[in-house]
A and B are shown apart, each in its own frame.
Chain A
């Protein structure tokens, strides 16, 4: 094994990847319900495959109606929250993900100028933005009340150490689309990388700055629709281009019924 070894996670990741013989999710469901054809063959494979055993265990865990005593209050709260958010679920459209900007602060303006060039794809992007703006207006007219949003992802009080990178805002429920992202400086940072994400951590936008704030460009602001939770985080980069600190991840959401982006 020339360049891999047992202490490298990649080695095990590769070894644990699904093989051609591994059962599909549908087959695992059928196996679980004892309705699979060639059941003996399937069972023999699962008995020898840690991956299929794990997938089957996850499936059974999901299918099981058992809620543990210490999670029942949270599950009830989330369920009620989902019922309240049904209006958002059925109205929020796909937020088109912007191409991730890898540019430095100095190069950023060039990057955005490029984005504004009158190419067909840009026209389509702006058409999408216009559509989203129309949805925003529609949502505003509804005037429904979204539940209050907790401001960050860590339950309980946030404790900051002296050299910890602290993201300041925006955070929590907002009355209007934020104009900028702000954080506190740390001594070790030569620059900061900022990213805005969806709740599954899929990146919507990224940029870098030598300052302690960045202005959200209009195309990004146009994608911030009422009711949709977004996350953001800043990473400090030192002079050797090495990440030295991550801020906490902050969440924010523009409340439904509040003023929207008019850019």
Chain B
């Protein structure tokens, strides 16, 4: 049977059965070739230069090759490969970003800080994560949400986010962080005003 006609999952099963033989390697070669371009593009968007991307992609396929025995077919091979590529690239870019003065803190300046019993105290009472997620979801546009989540939730540097999301505006992801910060700040102020009105109504 021609290898091209086999699904990814069938290739994995046959490769495992023929492990260590030339035929097994041929099956793995066919399997990997199908995904080289996709993983290459993904790694390039994370790293921004082709040398690093090639090293990163090699690392992804080395991990996949070593772990083929643990792939049980509960998900599609492409999903499994994606999860490895995603984690490998996130770890590499995060690690590269760590250095003196590389905190995202300055991107958050402008948001209301602790205010003695205001929004943040209420956030603590209600369930911080839930309230903050609700606020993010209501206040921000789609791209702002993604940029904000990738930068502050996943520690991705802004230039990597710009490439990853294919942002074409002049200042890339930074513009979306700035607008997200402004909208969040306004949204927090509105929330506080609503809370104060509610407290006032209860006291009357």
CA distance A31 to B83 in the complex (A): 16
CB distance from B159 to the nearest CB of A (A): 13
CA distance A63 to B39 in the complex (A): 10
Within 8 A of B (CB), among A1-48: 1-2, 4-9, 12-17, 19, 25-26, 29, 48
Within 8 A of B (CB), among A36-67: 48-51, 53-54, 57-59, 61-63, 65, 67
CB distance from B50 to the nearest CB of A (A): 4
CA distance A63 to B140 in the complex (A): 25
Chain A interface size range: 35 or more
**With a CB–CB cut-off of 8 A, which chain B residues contact A6?**
108, 111-113, 120, 184, 188
- Asked whether A78 lies within 8 Å of B54 as measured between CB atoms, the reply is yes
With CB as the reference atom, state the residue of chain A lying closest to B53: A78
- Asked whether B153 lies within 8 Å of A13 as measured between CB atoms, the reply is yes
- The residue from B91, B124, B148 contacting A200, defined by CB atoms under 8 A apart: B91
Within 8 A of A (CB), among B82-124: 82-83, 85-86, 88, 91-92, 94-96, 99-100, 103-105, 108-109, 111-114, 120-121, 123-124
Within 8 A of B (CB), among A181-210: 197-202
Interface size on B, residues (CB 8 A): 83
- Asked whether B129 lies within 8 Å of A59 as measured between CB atoms, the reply is no
- Asked whether B83 lies within 8 Å of A201 as measured between CB atoms, the reply is no
**With a CB–CB cut-off of 8 A, which chain A residues contact B164?**
58, 61
CA distance A78 to B74 in the complex (A): 30
- Asked whether A83 lies within 8 Å of B33 as measured between CB atoms, the reply is yes
CA distance A19 to B33 in the complex (A): 36
- The residue from B50, B109, B149 contacting A78, defined by CB atoms under 8 A apart: B50
Take A16-B152, A75-B37, A92-B62 as given contacts and tell me if A155 and B49 are in contact as well, using a CB distance cutoff of 8 Å.
Answer: yes
**With a CB–CB cut-off of 8 A, which chain A residues contact B105?**
7-9
Which of B58, B82, B111, B114: most chain A CB closer than 10 A? B58
CA distance A2 to B123 in the complex (A): 11
With CB as the reference atom, state the residue of chain B lying closest to A84: B54
**With a CB–CB cut-off of 8 A, which chain A residues contact B83?**
25
A140 at the interface (CB under 8 A from B): no
With CB as the reference atom, state the residue of chain A lying closest to B168: A68
Take A50-B148, A58-B164 as given contacts and tell me if A198 and B36 are in contact as well, using a CB distance cutoff of 8 Å.
Answer: no
Take A51-B153, A82-B32, A82-B61 as given contacts and tell me if A9 and B91 are in contact as well, using a CB distance cutoff of 8 Å.
Answer: no
- Asked whether B132 lies within 8 Å of A67 as measured between CB atoms, the reply is no
CB distance from B9 to the nearest CB of A (A): 14
- The residue from B37, B120, B123, B165 contacting A79, defined by CB atoms under 8 A apart: B37
Contact with A along B33-66 (1 / 0, CB 8 A): 1001111111111000111111111110110011
B128 at the interface (CB under 8 A from A): yes
- Asked whether B58 lies within 8 Å of A50 as measured between CB atoms, the reply is no
